[in-house]
Amino acid sequence: MSSQNTAKISAEGIRPGEVAVSLPDEADASIYFIGRIRTPWKSRKEAPKNAREARETGAICTLEVDPRWQQALAGVETCSHLIVLYWMDQARRDLVVQAPAHYANGRGTFALRSPVRPNPIALSVVRLHKVEGNRVEVVSLDCLDGTPLVDIKPYFASTDAIPDAQVGWHQKEKAVEQR
Amino acid sequence: MSSQNTAKISAEGIRPGEVAVSLPDEADASIYFIGRIRTPWKSRKEAPKNAREARETGAICTLEVDPRWQQALAGVETCSHLIVLYWMDQARRDLVVQAPAHYANGRGTFALRSPVRPNPIALSVVRLHKVEGNRVEVVSLDCLDGTPLVDIKPYFASTDAIPDAQVGWHQKEKAVEQR
């Protein structure tokens, strides 16, 4: 959650307009962390607020892949861009409606890229800088140093790039900001 | 794994050129399935081979979100495109080098979009057709009917669309095919 928020936060850490649900009693599947992400950001305060800001810093971040999985990197060096999945281990999982401080209204979790979601898997598209052994250098991620790595995938423009895609609620918020 | 493969498969189901590793003793985190995906594909044989083929079918597929999470869909209806994460529950997790039948050489798992990976989370970018209650209709997914749903995210062109991204090994394979 944004450290900028100044709205009243309840005892359970829920802001006005937010909605939490009870989590399921049992999990359905399990995740292996395949490594850690090294970034220059040691606290939420220093970290970029989102993927766009991260990219603007131009900072090189490193995906340190566990040696067990190192052979799985063969061919990654030929990719210009990668999709990185990582685990936001500090995020709560029970909010269905969220009210980030920088937006006017509450939004459904699945309409947001917030780390707070039932499965706190974040996704970033990054430019590959270099692969060296088990270390993959990319530009650039918004997560804290030490964040657990979940997956690395090649980015295929043919299916992954939709340059004219729209997020209606977000465009409306931006229009309000610019008024 | 592709049903087209005709290469020799070992007792452990590993093809020549493939490499398996032992999985970690313990998992690091857990996943809640947030719903199921309804598609027209009841078997691997009928299913599209990849995201591009799925899109070409134009088939409407439905993300059936568990009622527990339904409120999290507020605002999703304003998105033209979504990122869908789903769990490939039939895929093995221990291959680091894979030799899909339709490619000439073995490739590292992280250079492939194969469902076989340490964390079998598949990712597709889809066009939104309609949201109705807890049902999100999209065009189109390549997974089998009943596949567990893991996450829905809005697609932001500003950070997610890289139209000139390249996957070098894939372009080389295509060039060989066309010779």
Per-residue pLDDT of chain B (179 residues; tens, 9 = 90+): 333 333 445 547 888 889 999 999 999 999 999 999 999 999 988 889 888 888 889 899 999 999 999 999 999 999 999 999 999 988 999 999 999 777 667 899 999 999 999 999 999 999 999 999 999 999 989 999 999 999 999 999 999 999 999 999 998 888 877 76
Q: How many residues does chain B have?
A: 179
Q: Out of B109, B111, B158, whose CB is closest to A52? A: B158
| Interface touch A123/B52, C-beta < 8 Å | no
If phi > 0 it is left, if psi is from -120 to 50 it is alpha, else beta; for residue B163 that is alpha
- Residue A68 contacts B, CB cutoff 8 Å: yes
* Residue range A153-179, pLDDT digits in tens: 999 999 999 999 999 999 888 887 776
Minimal C-alpha gap between A133 and chain B (Å): 13
Closest Cβ–Cβ partner in A22, A78, A111 for B74: A111
Beta strands in chain A (DSSP E): 19-20, 29-31, 35-38, 60-65, 81-87, 95-98, 107-108, 121-132, 135-139, 147-154
Beta bridge partners of B30: A30
Taking contacts as CB-CB distances below 8 angstroms, the residues of chain B near A65 are 110
- Beta strands A19-20 and A95-98 are antiparallel
CA–CA min distance B6, chain A (Å) = 23
Interface confidence, given as ipTM, is: 0.91
Amino acid at position A105, single letter: N
B175 vs A: CB within 8 A: no
User: What is the model's pLDDT at position A176?
Assistant: 76
Question: Residue B4's pLDDT is what?
Answer: 37
**How high is the mean pLDDT of chain A?**
90
Cβ pair A51:B159 closer than 8 A: yes
Q: Does any CB of chain B come closer than 8 Å to the CB of residue A145?
A: no
CA distance A38 to chain B (A): 18
Give Cβ neighbours of residue B86 (< 8 Å, ≥ 6 apart): B37, B121, B122, B124, B141, B143, B147, B148, B149, B150
| Residue B25: how many other CB atoms lie within 10 Å | 5
**pLDDT range class, residue A2, cuts 50, 70, 90:** very low
Q: Tokens 């829905």: give the residue.
A: B152
Give chain B positions within 8 Å (CB) of A107: 74-75
The pLDDT tens digits for A41-55 are 999 888 998 888 888
> Which chain A residue's Cα is nearest to B134?
A110
pLDDT higher than threshold 60 for residue A9: no
Instruction: Please give the Cα distance from A95 to A14 (Å, whole number).
Output: 9
Which are the contacts of A72, defined by CB distance < 8 A and separation ≥ 6?
A: A65, B96, B97, B108, B109, B110, B111, B117, B118
Are A97 and B52 within 8 A, CB to CB? no
